[in-house]
Amino acid sequence: MTERVATKNKARSLAVQLACAVSTIGLGQSAFVALVPLIAAFTGLGTAEIGMAAAAGAIAFVLGAPVLGSLGGRFDHGMTLHMLGLVVLAGQLILAGLVWAGPVAPLLGLAALITSRLIYGFGASGVTPVAQSWVLRLASPHERRSVLALISAGLGAGRIIGSAAAMTASLAAPLPFLMLVLSPMSLLLMPARAATRGRQEGNQSSRVMPFDGRVRPFLAIGFLLSMGFGQVHITLGPLLQASFGISAQAATTATGLLLTLTAATMILVQIFLMPRLGLGQRKSVVIGASLVALGALIVATGGTYALAAVGLTMGGVGMALASPSYLAWLVSRIAAGEQGSATGWLASTHVLGQGAGALLGGYLFTIAPLLPLVSCACVAALVAVTALAMTSDRREPSQSLE
């Protein structure tokens, strides 16, 4: 019993450290989006060129995550995070150097920005999968969901910090870019020690393919939920503007407040609720997806700011409940050595889902403003039904057994 408690404390302690480390990825992603106007002003590039560079970074992320995710199992997890931190730092240094240098020749500026995003996207893609596979080596089956939720909370906290970091531009324009350069220190300060093997000692790292029957259903769930909630994110501002007849500036402010409230709620759920939740993994996915569907419908039919906040927050709670649950469900079905590769594929799938949601949501909004919300509700309901129909593992752990 004492040994089990000690192992549990070690897993949670490591998860907290890794949550702090991976926060740099969330920070870098949200800060870059918020800093687009400033990047355009400093470099002379247009939003189309900046969007092209961001797309290049997203492609690098999608391609890199499955490959880099398995490196921690082949080498030392801590050293792998150090190497990835150096790659992320290189990408941020190129971006900061470009901004601080001022306007340059358009082609040179575009090439530098694309290079920055390619390097950053590739390095960032491996951070979360390596962190997840590291903590999974130590965590017992009953702890997996709670420690994975902590790492997700770290990413969410980083996104909030990134938005706040962008606001420091009002004090000094170069300041947020200095913070981007310093942020990978959270990875470089991770202890470089041998990968924790715990119960899975002796397993060799190996790759799993996305068409593997053990992995495919969970990739589909991750893609659909990311696509559904992504539709809400991309169209929330225009929807508020159209529904309440407010200005673009007011809609932007309201959107920022609602998304911040949602992100903060998701973090609280992942830190405090997930470790105490007595539901099994399948039930958590079903309930989480159902909350996303219900939340989208509340936003669509509410007609007030308060109901929009309630619906969006409910959807966020659903995502916070479902995401670590289907990830823990996935890793319970594969060998320990395949976990890094599988979590990498899932990270890539999330990015693809978010991109698909942005495209689909933007198109549906031009047809009818409420269609993206209806689409999100339908997709989330489909996920709930799919998860309900899936065969649950006989050994599926419940958090109440911790």
pTM greater than 0.75: yes
Which pLDDT score is estimated for 4?
52
Q: Would the pLDDT of 195 be above 50?
A: no
> Which of 45-59, 291-305, 364-378 shows the lowest mean pLDDT across its residues?
45-59
Measured in Å, how far apart are the chain's first and last C-alpha atoms?
Answer: 11
Q: What is d(CA 274, CA 143) in angstroms, rounded to the nearest whole number?
A: 10
Arithmetic mean of pLDDT, 305-323: 94
Arithmetic mean of pLDDT, 296-323: 93
Q: Where in the chain is the domain with CATH 1.20.1250.20?
A: 2-189, 216-394
Structure tokens that stand for 284 in this block:
């958590």
Q: Would the pLDDT of 292 be above 50?
A: yes
pLDDT classification of 393: cutoffs 50, 70, 90: low
For the stretch 92-142, pLDDT in tens is: 999 999 998 877 888 999 999 999 999 999 999 999 999 998 998 888 888
For the stretch 72-87, pLDDT in tens is: 667 788 899 999 999 9
Arithmetic mean of pLDDT, 286-307: 93
Give the start-end residues of each E strand in 76-165: none
For the stretch 103-112, pLDDT in tens is: 788 899 999 9
Length of the chain: 402
Q: Would the pLDDT of 338 be above 50?
A: yes
For the stretch 141-184, pLDDT in tens is: 888 889 999 999 999 999 899 888 888 888 888 899 999 999 99
pLDDT classification of 206: cutoffs 50, 70, 90: low
Which pLDDT score is estimated for 199?
42
Nearest to 339 by CA among 204, 231, 230: 204
Which pLDDT score is estimated for 88?
97
3-class secondary structure per residue, 346-367: HHHHHHHHHHHHHHHHHHHHHH
pLDDT classification of 402: cutoffs 50, 70, 90: very low
Which pLDDT score is estimated for 188?
92
What CATH number does domain 216-394 carry, 1.20.1250.20, 3.50.50.60, 3.40.1350.10, 1.20.1600.10? Answer: 1.20.1250.20
What CATH number does domain 2-189 carry, 3.40.1010.10, 1.10.3720.10, 1.20.1250.20, 3.40.50.1100? Answer: 1.20.1250.20
Of residues 210 and 225, more confidence is placed in 225
**Mean pLDDT estimate for the chain:** 86
Arithmetic mean of pLDDT, 201-223: 79
Which pLDDT score is estimated for 194?
47
Q: What is the CA radius of gyration of the chain?
A: 21
Which pLDDT score is estimated for 19?
94
Which pLDDT score is estimated for 401?
37
H helices, E strands: number in the chain: 16, 0
The burial class, CB within 10 Å (0-12 / 13-18 / 19+), for 284 is buried
Structure tokens that stand for 19 in this block:
């949550």
